[in-house]
Amino acid sequence: MYVLEISDLRKNFGKLEVIKNLNMKVAKNSIFGFLGKNGAGKTTTLRMITGMLRPDGGSISVCGETVRFGSSSTNRHIGFLPDTPEFYGHMTPKEYLMLCARVCGIKPEDAAGRINELLTAVGLDGVNRRVKGFSRGMKQRLGIAQALVNDPELVLCDEPTSALDPAGRKEILDILKSLRNKTTIVFSTHILADVERICDSIGILHNGKLVIEGNLADVKKTYASESIAVQIHESEKSGVVAEELLKTEEVASAVLKDNGIIQVITRDAIGTGNKISRILSENNLSLARFEILEPDLEDIFLRAIKQ
């Protein structure tokens, strides 16, 4: 079952096409990494999902209901954490969440227990200070609690870790990871390491479309045979080997790394291996290392946005 379905979505700002026929599905109780460079249109897409921004074409459905601009009916299924959440600084966390519960139509007697659970889940139980004195990490944790007040089936997180230090990032990622199988999360970010830590599936947004989409493990498997590490004993000649490889049809790139290692991106690993043997033989060079690599998400992302 898909909690979020987007079909042929389009959005222009004047003559600038930001989103072009975007198609995307997010399965129930998964964590979906929504990736793209800054300015790729991730926030624009999230705003259209919430009905805050009018699309220029296409459709969005949440839990089987069509999202309509300016209508909040589908937002009863959604929790939203913006990239820079704003709060009423004079309130305590409990007071602020109680206000959010009232806005969502939750009765105070029903909200009290829910709010205590949420504050415990995000590590803010017993914190009675005013929000204006909170650190950025504490505000992000409160923002997650706010996004969960109405027990949503879909949580949209827009760059939730981008301005945090490593410790703060880990705290937020651990909280989001703990929500797996309890709700569905769309995790918009450009921090690829964060996605690898918590996401089940990914979509890479480039030129207004998803250029790669799928289960993270399957995506890595698809690209696994395309990245090769090559090293020769005569390291001073590594540049010559890289130049020769770039002349072959199946090689997309051959980059010289530290210690004379050549990282090769190819459409045919076995064929490229044969070409390497020929190049080494012709130049009287000897092979020290040949390894087919499992690419990390950064390799996949960089390849995707060059398409």
Cβ–Cβ under 8 Å, residues 19 and 13: no
What is the pTM (predicted TM-score) of this model? 0.84
Query: CATH 3.40.50.300 in the chain, residues?
Result: 2-207
Question: Domain 222-304's class?
Answer: alpha beta
Q: With b meaning 16 or more CB within 10 Å and e meaning fewer, what string describes 93-105?
A: bbebbbbbbeeee
Say which residues have a Cβ less than 8 Å from residue 171's Cβ, sequence separation at least 6: 123, 137, 141
Query: CATH 3.30.70.100 in the chain, residues?
Result: 222-304
Cβ–Cβ under 8 Å, residues 263 and 254: yes
Write down the pLDDT at residue 162. 84
Using one digit for the tens of pLDDT, what is the confidence trace for 262-300? 989 888 888 899 999 999 999 999 999 999 887 778 888
Cβ–Cβ under 8 Å, residues 2 and 268: no
Write down the pLDDT at residue 130. 95
Give the model's confidence band at 225: pLDDT under 50 very low, under 70 low, under 90 confident, else very high: low
Give the model's confidence band at 87: pLDDT under 50 very low, under 70 low, under 90 confident, else very high: very high
Q: Give percent of the chain above pLDDT 90.
A: 74
Give the model's confidence band at 189: pLDDT under 50 very low, under 70 low, under 90 confident, else very high: very high
Instruction: For residue 180, count other CB atoms closer than 10 A to its CB.
Output: 15
Instruction: For residue 283, count other CB atoms closer than 10 A to its CB.
Output: 13
Q: Are strands 78-81 and 262-266 parallel, antiparallel or unpaired?
A: unpaired
Report the chain's terminal Cα–Cα distance, integer Å: 31
Mean pLDDT computed over every residue of the chain: 92
Helix (H, G, I), strand (E, B) or coil at 261: coil
Architecture of domain 2-207: 3-Layer(aba) Sandwich (3.40)
